Amino acid sequence: MSSLWPELERLLGEVQKPARYIGCEDGMILPAHHPDKAAWLLIYPDTYEVGLPNQGLQILYEILNERPDAVAERSYAPWTDLAAALRREGLPLFSLDTHRAAGDFDLLAFNLSAELVYTNLLECLDLAGVPIRTADRGPEHPLVLVGGHCSYNPEPLADFIDAAVLGDGEEAVSEISEVVAAWKAQGRTSREDVLLALAGVTGVYVPSLYTVGFRDDGILDVVRPLHPAVPELVEKRTVADLADWPYPKNQLVSLTEVVHDRLNVEVFRGCTRGCRFCQAGMITRPVRERPAEQVRTMVAEGLRRTGYDEVALTSLSTADFSGITEVLADTVSDDACGQVSVSLPSLRVDAFTVGIAAQIQRARRTGLTFAPEAGTWRMRQVINKLVREEDLYGAVESAFSQGWRRVKLYFLTGLPTETDEDTLGIIEMAEKCVEIGRRHQKGASVTISVGAFVPKPFTPFQWFGQNTEQELNRKVGLLRDAARKAKGVQLKWHDTRASVVEGLLSRGDRRMGAVIEDVWRNGGVFQEWGEHFALSLWTDAMDRHGVSFEEHVYRHRHEDEALPWDHLCAGLHKDFLWQDWRDALDEVGLEDCRWTPCYDCGACTGYGIEHVVASATPPAGGSQGTGQELGPDRVGAVPVGLSQRRPPIVEQSVEPNLLPAGAER
């Protein structure tokens, strides 16, 4: 179990960006391995620059290393040049902390934040010298775990992983460590023993202990436990109070440049705004705020310890944090921190937000980003992103008048019920924003970034048949033509081919495993990188294994149809999601339950927990997820129909008409 550094050192001279592989970060831990301890290798299956800042991985790294019965190190997917060099020299995947072989660890735990990295998971296992298929592993091999948002539908990876951990990992990793340490103490008996014991930990799903049935027409029927001791429904884990988990305490500071290269402090977890396309908002409910005092301490100490001059207050919608104004004022005026800039990665679309942005960005007023997500009010009601035009234009006006020169707007296309009018509404909004901007600055410009909508599990849109690649291309074409005529509007869009593959993996069942393996065997790694993505690798593999986009991606799911993740639980009742889907089609909005009565979606009620929010009223101003001006007394016309958990619709025999007139299908 010695360090591979001397061998690796010789290879680093021949690869790009060798600093990716040296570790040595400020905050790095060099744990003392011991036969009695469960040794975790936490792997982010993408490049170091993308993976290092991942907060989830860093939190578990610290928690595990604080335990007496566990150690944890880190690894990231080696770029193709180093992977080739490792294979040539017969060297394995290694940890960055002590540069030891991945195969020497007891657990290889992958953080899965995006579906397109799935083939990298196989690549990492293979480089580690671990059989890629669960069935081929023995007690001597590491256990392969996955966590992160994608683990809510791990079925496409069922052949390759030993277990998936659902939800917050803070508590679950400790229980898993106990199970694995005990298994080691018993002399690593059979693999079945440890897998059964792991399945007994709440939040842990062991795919090999379940069987999958299909109907005659090839549609998934049911996923059933194979063993009496394993649960029929695997529940997610939720940490009740973030105040108990002030992690990471020593954020890793990379020696080389990475994305989000700054201090990151998580101010709350969960979001109940209820955007229907947003998986993160649905699966991380309820809202759990960190106490403002703890945020202040983590910011001040973090800046002093790291030497960063930028801090991001992270969450799914930071302007909603109770007491955001005060926390920001304290941060900006703390002399000990010097010239600090604060960034709020997810801005709410309203003037209040621009106000706080102005407070924190006194110097660098280059660009501000908002996400109205859809171009018409009708469309935004469907997706429950209840930003009114006044909100956006108010925000834009206030940004340009206060010195910002560029505004970036995020939109989705391919949304349920989207018509060409909705699509083109994106450009109209952007043009209006430029017009407002030019009143204040001659060179005002607006960049719009359009992504293709991919339906995700555990969202109200999980039943929606994703737009075909052709349809998405047609919409992008409409946008390009319109943008060309619009002054001051720049358009960027995502690769629609990658979106349909993402769709295949996000809602796929176990039959995707053969496709993933096939793509990997044909050299398909780093598929989330444009330079490596190849649609033909996927379509060829799909042809060979009888998988089609038509059936698995473009088809609308029926209400009575089993979904591949039905035996897993993200806290949300399926009937709540179905009702929300019906509301979406009826263009009915749903208010944020943080500040209103509960709809019993299940996320709190199912686990006996509740929101942890310091203030009973939302931070001032703007649209509060309802499209209303919510003053303290909450008066005024309500521009949307607010659904207060309407009685379920009984008659549902008619397939909702989801497609815009004239759209091809």
Partner 1 sequence: MSVVANPRIRIRFSKQGKVRFTSHRDVARIWERALRRVALPVAYSEGFSPRPKISYGLALPTGYASEAEYLDVELDREQAEALGLVSQGIPGNPQDGLIGRLNQVLPVGIRVQAIAPVQPGSSSLQQAVVACTWEFEVDAAGFDEVEAWVSRVLDADEIIVERERKGKQVTDDVRPLVEALEVGRGRCGASGETVRVTAVLGTRPRALRPVELLEAMLADPAAGPHPPLSARTVCRMQQWMLRESQESQEYQESQQSQESQESKEDIKITQGDARVEPLSVDAGPAALVETRV
Contact 93, 113 (CB under 8 A): no
Q: Name the nearest CA neighbour of 199 among 223, 175, 218, 171.
A: 175
| 642 interacts with ligand SF4 by CB under 6 A | no
Residue 598 binds which of partner 1, ligand SF4, none (CB < 5-8 A, kind-dependent):
ligand SF4
| 598 interacts with ligand SF4 by CB under 6 A | yes
Q: Any idea how long the chain is?
A: 665
Site for ligand SF4 in 241-280 (CB under 6 A): 272
State the nearest-atom distance from the C-beta of 652 to ligand SF4, in Å: 22
Residue 366 binds which of ligand SF4, partner 1, none (CB < 5-8 A, kind-dependent):
partner 1
Residue 12 binds which of partner 1, ligand SF4, none (CB < 5-8 A, kind-dependent):
partner 1
**Tokens of residue 108, six digits:** 């290889």
For 448, the 3-state DSSP assignment is: strand
| 366 interacts with partner 1 by CB under 8 A | yes
Residue 484 binds which of partner 1, ligand SF4, none (CB < 5-8 A, kind-dependent):
none
Distance (Å, whole) CA 161 – CA 154:
9
| 19 interacts with partner 1 by CB under 8 A | yes
Task: Kindly provide the b/e burial profile for residues 105-142, where b requires at least 16 CB atoms within 10 angstroms of the residue's own CB.
Answer: bbbbbbbbbbbbbbbbbbbbbbbbebebebeebeeebb
585: how many CB neighbours lie within 10 A of its CB? 15
State the nearest-atom distance from the C-beta of 128 to ligand SF4, in Å: 39
| 605 interacts with ligand SF4 by CB under 6 A | yes
Distance (Å, whole) CA 382 – CA 416:
8
Residues with Cβ < 8 Å from 273, sequence gap 6 or more? Answer: 281, 316, 317, 320, 384, 385, 592, 625
Radius of gyration of the chain (CA): 25
Residues with Cβ < 8 Å from 651, sequence gap 6 or more? Answer: none
Distance (Å, whole) CA 429 – CA 275:
20
Integer CA distances (angstroms), 429 to 407, 418, 439, 493, 623, in order: 12, 16, 16, 16, 17
Question: In 337-429, at which residue ranges do the beta strands (DSSP E only) sit?
Answer: 341-343, 367-373, 406-413
For 371, the 3-state DSSP assignment is: strand
| 365 interacts with partner 1 by CB under 8 A | yes
Choice between 18 and 92, CB closer to partner 1: 18
Selected binder of ligand SF4 within 122, 197, 201, 603 (CB under 6 A): 603
State the nearest-atom distance from the C-beta of 64 to partner 1, in Å: 23
CA atoms within 13 A on the CB side of 210: 30
Distance (Å, whole) CA 617 – CA 630:
9
Selected binder of partner 1 within 308, 352, 549, 581 (CB under 8 A): 308
Q: Using CB under 6 A, which of the segments 115-123, 151-159, 402-410, 597-605 binds ligand SF4?
A: 597-605
Selected binder of partner 1 within 133, 215, 227, 364 (CB under 8 A): 364
The number of residues that bind ligand SF4 (CB under 6 A) is 12
Residues with Cβ < 8 Å from 51, sequence gap 6 or more? Answer: 44, 45, 57, 76, 77, 111
Selected binder of partner 1 within 55, 80, 202, 256 (CB under 8 A): 256
Selected binder of ligand SF4 within 23, 167, 286, 513 (CB under 6 A): 286
State the nearest-atom distance from the C-beta of 18 to partner 1, in Å: 4
| 89 interacts with partner 1 by CB under 8 A | no
The number of residues that bind partner 1 (CB under 8 A) is 29
Choice between 26 and 326, CB closer to partner 1: 26
State the nearest-atom distance from the C-beta of 13 to partner 1, in Å: 5
Selected binder of partner 1 within 216, 232, 257, 531 (CB under 8 A): 257
Q: Which residue has the tokens 């997917």?
A: 77
Which residues, in sequence order, are bridge partners of residue 76? 44
φ, ψ of residue 207 to 5 degrees: the values are -55, -35
Interior angle at CA 249, CA 243 and CA 251, nearest 5? 130
| 631 interacts with partner 1 by CB under 8 A | no
Q: Which residue has the tokens 């793509």?
A: 519
Choice between 157 and 601, CB closer to ligand SF4: 601
State the nearest-atom distance from the C-beta of 66 to partner 1, in Å: 22
Choice between 358 and 609, CB closer to partner 1: 358
Q: Using CB under 8 A, which of the segments 5-13, 406-414, 527-535, 629-637 binds partner 1?
A: 5-13
Distance between start and end Cα atoms, the chain? 57
| 284 interacts with ligand SF4 by CB under 6 A | no
Q: Using CB under 6 A, which of the segments 91-99, 245-253, 595-603, 623-631 binds ligand SF4?
A: 595-603
| 588 interacts with partner 1 by CB under 8 A | no
Residue 36 binds which of partner 1, ligand SF4, none (CB < 5-8 A, kind-dependent):
none
Selected binder of partner 1 within 304, 487, 492, 558 (CB under 8 A): 304
Contact 344, 314 (CB under 8 A): no
Choice between 135 and 336, CB closer to partner 1: 336
Distance (Å, whole) CA 383 – CA 581:
9
Residue 257 burial (C-beta neighbours within 10 Å; 0-12, 13-18, 19+): exposed
| 613 interacts with ligand SF4 by CB under 6 A | no
Selected binder of partner 1 within 1, 32, 363, 654 (CB under 8 A): 363
Choice between 208 and 579, CB closer to ligand SF4: 579
Selected binder of ligand SF4 within 165, 220, 430, 601 (CB under 6 A): 601
Q: Using CB under 8 A, which of the segments 11-19, 441-449, 453-461, 485-493 binds partner 1?
A: 11-19
| 636 interacts with partner 1 by CB under 8 A | no
Selected binder of ligand SF4 within 358, 389, 600, 607 (CB under 6 A): 600
**Tokens of residue 241, six digits:** 């109070």
State the nearest-atom distance from the C-beta of 278 to ligand SF4, in Å: 14
**Which residues make up the interface to ligand SF4 (CB under 6 A)?**
272, 285-286, 593, 598-605
**Which residues make up the interface to partner 1 (CB under 8 A)?**
5, 9-10, 12-13, 18-19, 21-26, 253, 255-257, 304-309, 338-339, 363-366
